[in-house]
Chain A
Amino acid sequence: MTRYILHRILQGIPLLFFISIILFVLMMNMGDPIATMGGRTATRPADRERLKRQLGLDKPIVVQYFYWLAGNDWTKIDLDGDGIGETYGERKGVLRGDFGYSLVNRGKPALAVIGERIPNTLILMVAAELVIILGSLLVGVYSALHQYSFTDHFITTLSFIGYSMPIFFIALLSMYIFAVLFKRWGLPYLPTVGMFDPQVGKTAGQVILHMILPVLSISVISLAAYSRYIRSTMLEVMNQDYIRTAKAKGLPRPQIVYIHALKNASLPIVTVIGLDLPLLLGGAVVTERIFAWPGMGRLFLDHVERGDLPVVMGILMLISVAVVVFQILTDIVYAWLDPRIRFG
């Protein structure tokens, strides 16, 4: 088992290198970092040149990537353009945890800029995962056990609609219903903007209240997709020979469903859930934009607009690491659930 985990981690590392190379190449045309740094003040051509050299933008892309990865504090940088390096660089490189300084929030490490936003996105993700997993298990198992009933057909249709919903449409629609219409009808209505009401302050209750609609918007698509998937997986498992054996033993139905069937059905479900984190994170971008949620997704959009490469690249890499780590965790959970792998 330990060997298996090590093996998976070792597989993840080259993958992350691949990802970083792809992203780095794409970053090459993301706008003008010098202009972003200069802000509104018109920068003289000489200053531009100096900044360019300072940022290492005069070097070929391979060297730039290498500096990004491993830093340039071990080599002399040519700042005045005479071809001779005079001062050591200051960057430590991503491998040593240095993603560079944000160009927008000058002087602030990119990682710190991102770090402020991570918890906000994280609570959205965790809440959404919980809603998705618990909700889809409930719905999926129920409709599998009541196959072809009216409720089952109803749920199937509903999940097709949910699965086809663009997130922004879910968000806008739910805002309209639960905020606008509920307010109009004099019902208690939900807030739609930000993380808390500034007049009340950032209390847990406020954050939870403000989370409801964003979490709903992020969850609907996956909830719908997993419900269907769990339904079909459960149906398939319920038709297996070992379920018939369990019935032949005279076990009561709940024991058959929740121990014999669900434990087997959870294997493919775990895999699917593990693979879908990218989708969820993508959903967060749109959701955070609509609900003005101060998370990583919104930070990403804001800083992409302004060409803040270190922050953009930092977010993308952190997300990729999260995705890879989540997949490894999934594999471990899978192996832990499936004795054929655990003892294989």
Chain B
Amino acid sequence: MGILNIMIAESTPNLFVDDLETPPLPLTTLAWKRFKRHRMAMLGGVFLILLVLYSFGGSLFVEEKYANFTNPPIRLNTPSWQHPFGTDTVGRDVLARTIYGGQISMIIGILAVIIETSLGILIGALAGYYGGTIDSLLMRFTEAMLNIPEIFLLIVMAKFFGNKIPNLTLLGRTFSGSVVVIIVIIGLTSWMYLARIVRAEFLSIKENDFILAAKATGTSNTEIIIRHILPNSIAPIIVSATLGIANAILSEAYISFLGLGVQPPTATWGNMLDGANNYIESAPWLWFFPGLLILLTVLSINFLGDGLRDAIDPHSRAI
């Protein structure tokens, strides 16, 4: 292969240099170097930090009681110095609610991804490692889940689990029990892509000689999976989990927007939008600010995830 063939591969211009020129760098340094080249990813990271500061730092200045305080006489007030983002249909301060709503949305995003990732790894690993009947059953199941559009599945599951979980009190704050329901159903409806990725990784890694060697020395299956294969397939998992947070935040927003998600008084960016389409003209601040915050968060995470993919998992491709 001439230089040209290598250099022509526009997507991996660094391959040439990595292969022939530079002394091998530690993997993390290399990843960080690639990541830094992504200006948009850096920007996404900075924005995300600002958004987290907004949601979690904001609560130092505004009490949750204030965010949930209804005051009908001042309902649907236009933005002013006192209420910079205006007030909602029952006179709550929209700015304060975006702060607390952001906390819940982000927490839901992260916890749902933890469930999603655990399920995805578990199912993908079992299918990929054991193969055979287990594999074909699990993959059929995965495929079946993938074929039902996610929103429909979310709606059905939201109904299925209903509002049977009572409100919880945690760290002196009361959360609607529906928060837990939403976290669980988002986790349950989003693990499929990761399961496929993990399965593919397992299928290719388990053919390697070092796995054969581990087997030959009598290492148990669980240990091989956890110690040998999983660490080698961690890059796509990290990327998928990062992007998964954005998707989980979106899912929460969709389901709450449809009125089947987190129930008031607990605010989320999604349920602040519920019913907002009745106020498109009369009170655009009702939907504009939470909508914009969702967009910015998802955008930042997507930029970040894209950079992360290029940095640690350069062989895969964005869709």
Q: Does B33 contact A (CB under 8 A)?
A: no
The complex places the Cα of A272 from the Cα of B162 at a distance, in Å, of: 34
Within 8 A of A (CB), among B256-313: 257-258, 273, 276-277, 280-281, 284, 287-288, 291-292, 294-295, 298-299, 302-303, 306
Report A-chain residues with C-beta under 8 Å of the C-beta of B141.
18, 22
Check A301 for interface membership: any CB of B closer than 8 A. yes
**Residues 112-155 of B contacting A (Cβ, < 8 Å):** 140-141, 143-152, 155
A316 contact set on B, CB distance < 8 A: 148, 152, 156
- Stretch of B5-13, B61-69, B211-219 contacting A (4+ beta carbons < 8 Å): B5-13
- Of the stretches B18-26, B83-91, B246-254, the one at the interface is B246-254
Candidate in B149, B250, B257, B273 with the most chain A CB atoms within 10 angstroms:
B149
Closest to A276 in B: B319
Chain A residue with the shortest CB-CB distance to B257: A168
Could you mark each residue 300-317 of chain A with 1 if its beta carbon is under 8 Å from any beta carbon of chain B, else 0? Answer: 110010000000100110
A22 touches B148 (CB 8 A): yes
Q: Compute how far the CA of A175 lies from the CA of B160 in the bound complex, rounded to whole angstroms.
A: 33
Select from chain A the residue with minimum beta-carbon distance to B9.
A239
- Residues of B contacting A225 with CB < 8 Å? 319
Residues from chain B with Cβ under 8 Å of A157 in the complex: 40
Residues of A close to B160: CB separation below 8 A? 26, 28-30
Residue in A173, A179, A300 whose CB lies within 8 Å of B152 = A300
B157: interface (CB < 8 Å): yes
B281 — which chain A residues lie within 8 A by C-beta?
176, 179-180
> Cβ of A166 and Cβ of B295 under 8 Å apart?
yes
B159 at the interface (CB under 8 A from A): yes
Task: Say yes or no: A166 contacts B253, CB within 8 Å.
Answer: yes
Q: Contact check, B152 vs A319: say whether CB atoms are below 8 A apart.
A: yes
Contact A289-B258, Cβ < 8 Å, known A160-B299, A300-B155: yes
A172, B280: Cα distance in complex, Å: 7
Q: Which residues of B contact A301 (CB under 8 A)?
A: 155, 258
Known: A18-B141, A31-B159, A172-B276. A164 touches B150 (CB 8 A): no
CB distance from B180 to the nearest CB of A (A): 16
- Judged by a CB distance under 8 angstroms, whether A55 is at the interface is no
**B317 at the A interface (CB under 8 A):** yes
Closest to A277 in B: B149
**A93 shortest CB reach to chain B, Å:** 20
Rounded to whole angstroms, the CA-CA distance of A30 and B155 in the bound complex is 10
Interface residues of A in 160-178 (CB under 8 A from B): 160-161, 163-169, 171-173, 175-176
Q: How far apart are the CA atoms of A300 and B159 in the complex, in Å?
A: 13
Query: Quick check: A166 and B291 within 8 Å, CB to CB?
Result: yes
Instruction: Tally inter-chain residue pairs, CB-CB below 8 A.
Output: 153
- Measured CA separation A172–B253 after assembly (Å): 14
Interface stretch (choices A44-52, A279-287, A329-337)? A279-287
Contact (Cβ within 8 A) A166 B250: yes
CB distance from B313 to the nearest CB of A (A): 15
A19 lies within 8 A of B144 (CB): yes
| Contacting pair B144 A272 (CB below 8 A) | no
Question: Interface size for chain B: under 10, 10 to 19, 20 to 34, or 35 or more residues?
Answer: 35 or more
Secondary structure of the A contact surface, majority rule = helix
A228 within 8 A of B: yes
Q: Which of B165-188 contact A (CB under 8 A)?
A: none
Q: Hey, which chain B residues are within 8 Å of A14, CB to CB?
A: 140
B11-A23 in contact (CB<8A): no
Least distance between A324 CB and chain B CB atoms (Å): 6
**A281 vs B287: C-alpha distance in the bound complex, in angstroms?**
24
**A192, CB-defined interface residue at 8 Å:** yes
Taking a contact as CB atoms under 8 Å apart, the answer to whether B156 and A26 are in contact is: yes
| Chain B neighbourhood of A15, CB < 8 A | 140, 143-144, 147
Does B318 belong to the interface (CB within 8 Å)? Answer: yes
Q: Is B147 touching A285 in the complex (CB atoms < 8 A)?
A: no
Q: Judge whether A23 and B10 touch: CB under 8 Å.
A: no
How many Å lie between the Cα of A179 and that of B273 in the bound state?
A: 19
Interface residue? A229 (CB, 8 A): yes
A176 to B156, CA, bound (A): 31
Does A323 sit within 8 A of B, measured CB to CB?
Answer: yes
The residue of chain A having its C-beta at the shortest distance from the C-beta of B44 within the complex is A160
Given A192-B280, A285-B149, 19 further pairs, Cβ under 8 A: A18-B141, A18-B143, A19-B147, A29-B162, A160-B303, A166-B253, A166-B294, A169-B291, A172-B273, A172-B277, A172-B280, A232-B317, A235-B11, A236-B10, A239-B8, A278-B147, A278-B149, A278-B150, A304-B156
The 10 closest A-B pairs by CB, nearest first: A282-B151, A18-B144, A278-B149, A169-B291, A282-B149, A164-B299, A164-B298, A19-B144, A29-B160, A180-B281
Instruction: List 25 A–B pairs whose Cβ atoms lie within 8 Å, in order of A's numbering.
Output: A18-B144, A19-B148, A27-B156, A30-B156, A160-B302, A166-B253, A167-B254, A168-B254, A168-B287, A172-B277, A172-B287, A175-B277, A229-B319, A279-B149, A279-B150, A282-B149, A282-B152, A285-B151, A289-B258, A289-B277, A290-B277, A315-B152, A319-B152, A323-B148, A324-B147
